Structure 1
Amino acid sequence: MSRLVSAVSLVFLALLLVLPLLMIDGLILSVGDVSYDSFVGCLVFLLCFYLTSLFVSIIFDGAMRAFGGLFKRPVSNVLFAVVNFWVSLSVLLWMDLYVKSITISLATKIVLVSVHTVLFYLIHRSGDSTAKASEVTESLDPVVKEALRLLENEDPVTCVETLCLRFPDRPKKDIIRIVHRLHSN
């Protein structure tokens, strides 16, 4: 019984997350040049588009995060948006080839994908600002200040060992995470 309740809760949560996007896309499709056999078929098409785009975007997002370290953050965010736009557009074009019950004009597809790209760009950017806020809060931490000072002259392993001795109240896992993040930057 508890599995059923958790499964229903998970489906409900997923619908709450997707419902605003469905409403926005429904508005775009109702205004745009779209023909479809049934409303339910159109909703299923959109849900399949979301799932397929999510799956493909996860693969490309990992690659973008790997290459994102090569560029400054604003360039990385724009590059993420451009790749996300082309990935979403290619998924939508591919799906339109195989689904005969719905026909969407190219202009409507571009508007639909552009709205998705802007939304995901804003979400991606808000994640960056949240990370920056946590970095500012964390930079006031004495462990971070000491780690920065130690990393100027020592390797990360020696830095972790020294910090563990100087701050015995801090878990070693936290110190390793701080040193790794600082050394990576």
Structure 2
Amino acid sequence: GVIVSHETVRRWCAKFGQAYANGLRRRRPRPGDKWHLDEVFIKINGEQKYLWRAVDADGNVLDILVQNRRDTAAARRVFRRLLKTTCSVPRVVVTDKLRSYGAAHREVMPSVEHRSHKGLNNRAENSHQPTRQRERAMKGFRSIGGAQRFLSAFSGISPHFRPRRHLMTAAHYRAEMTTRFAIWDQITGAASRPTTA
């Protein structure tokens, strides 16, 4: 076996993580036409920042953005970035009652229906749970850039290995995971490396 330190693994993740996440995103189907947006605060070096997240109706993460504020300018930045990264326009955008969303929506996506209600947005609010678990395990983030890089890669890779197991039989789950690991091997280049005996 090969012995490596945790710092070596961290450097590999920083170097290759985003490329692997992008490879997985390219293989995903087009996002649904109903987008859920939510923001939560995160502590970075003791300061309160905001993590904005967008997911589609199936729970697929569309984008993540870490920002200093949660005002109209920040919401506008999130909407514009979403349109650019997904190359699509939704039919409906669902948010909580934060007023910044309404103002940014009218400016950036006026033709898209906007539903603003606390109870409708559970899809986006639940999508923060894996991030919170990682944040606790890592004992927080040290910079906005570091948080953005990590969370962007993490949100692309983590769902690949977390299929909705409660909707599958055991046999279907095993087959699905075999397929997902084969895709991972292709993206990381592990499939092309010779195995040692």
Q: TM-score range by the shorter chain?
A: under 0.3
- Highest RCO, 1 vs 2 (Cα 8 Å, sep ≥ 6): 2
TM-score when normalising by structure 1: 0.24
Whose radius of gyration is greater, 1 or 2?
A: 1
Larger helix proportion, structure 1 or 2?
Answer: 1
Q: Which has the higher strand share?
A: 2
TM-score by length of 2: 0.23
